[in-house]
Amino acid sequence: MNRAAEAASEIVDEFGFLDDWEDRYQLLIDLGRRLPPLPTHYKTDEYQLRGCQSVVHFAAETKDGEITFHAGSDAAIVQGLIALLLRVYSDRTADEIRDTEAAFLSEIGLDSHLSATRKTGLASMLTAIKAAAG
């Protein structure tokens, strides 16, 4: 199993311990709060991700064969979603990113608990991640 798939599996396990959706939202928000702040130079129009209801800045850089993602949002839930995506896909090889589907998001029930606009934004972030991996 690649590192991205391992991280996705860990997320499914962590959310699986929580039965209540309020608790899952709280975990999501907490994960977002623990992300390091997005460096200021990424908080420009150049890095703003289109298709998101909230303001999301997103950048990718490749170093030593691994792709690192930098992202941040002004919305707590979205910041939590970013935390999940970065945990799975950041600091991975392009192959790991391409080979790891985002099934973990539906496995933890997010697909049925996010608004349509949040789902669209999430899809935009995933598209940008996959595009960076070629």
Which residues participate in catalysis according to the annotation? 52
Separation CA 94–CA 127 (nearest Å):
14
CB atoms within 10 A of CB 80: 24
Amino acid letter, residue 30: D
- SS3 track for 6-41: HHHHHHHHHHHCCCCHHHHHHHHHHHHHHCCCCCHH
Here the tokens at position 66 are: 């691994």
